[in-house]
Copies of this chain bind each other. A is one copy, B any other.
Amino acid sequence: MATLRRALVEPPLEDAARALQGLLTAHRWVVLWGRCRADYEGRGASSSGEGDVLVVVKEDRSVIVHGPRGFRPLNWQPSGAAVTASMREGLLELRAVRKSPRETLTLTCSRVYLLSGLEGAVEPEFHMYLSEAEIRDILASNPSLIEEGLRIVGVERPVDPGFVDMYGIDREGRLVVFEIKRVKAGESAARQLLRYVETLRSRGHARVRGVLLAPDFTESAIRLLEASGLEHARIDPRAIYEMAGRRRSVKRVRGLTEYLGKGSAPGRG
């Protein structure tokens, strides 16, 4: 079981700084609730006036700064940042620096409401269902869900440039390129498919078909497809979901989609 390493309520800034330094050196998962200002410079640039923020520093040194409202963090730094704490002109300063791209996030706190760190946190095993990769695999194993007589001959194959989600040969022997979207497909999905089909046609596959597979389509996507001689076909999430039920679920190890049949590295850090 994880243990709380500290829970300082309204500590003097010096105490907070010292505790924070200790927690950071020990690579703890840290939460700081305080009155701070934030400055960020990197790909973009931002600054904020003083306000109440919740700062989360995780074990992998990702930093997230939340305000009292809104889903998105006000500021952040992705994992791998160099995080340091210090006192500076009487204020607690927390800096998170990332290289490549070079980005700096600086928090300057005039007051700490709560500071706490957790040791030995257990990462929950996370299962995500019906990722695009899984949908693609299910369709590849059950091509009749798409059309009769279809044979899948390739999956996630590189074209220049990009990747075709799925290749097939239809009952008349024509090459079919599939682009799969797990949600409603917009114009950009259609553009992508068009691009692949054009590439293939320019390489002599005159009879290639292009099919956009999605549970739904925007009007402009359909217009673009029809104007370009491409097809679209609705896939039924329910049918896919039922197929998925018979497979093992997809496990999100560090990120999002790790799908079956491609044994990959556990690697962390």
Contacts and interface: CB of A to CB of B under 8 A. Distances in A.
A260 B141 CA distance: 53
B183 A45 contact: no
Number of chain A interface residues as a range: 35 or more
B62 A58 contact: no
A1 interface: yes
A268 interface: yes
A156 interface: no
A111 to B, nearest CB: 7
A87 to B, nearest CB: 20
A177 to B, nearest CB: 16
Contact of A69 (B36, B60, B114, B223): B60
Nearest to A44: B130
A48 B124 contact: yes
B71 A4 contact: no
Contact of A124 (B50, B56, B78, B129): B50
B129 A44 contact: yes
30 contacts: A1-B35, A1-B111, A2-B35, A2-B113, A7-B9, A7-B114, A31-B31, A31-B33, A31-B114, A45-B128, A45-B129, A45-B130, A45-B241, A46-B126, A47-B127, A48-B124, A48-B126, A49-B126, A52-B122, A53-B124, A58-B66, A60-B70, A62-B69, A64-B66, A68-B118, A68-B122, A68-B123, A69-B79, A70-B79, A71-B78
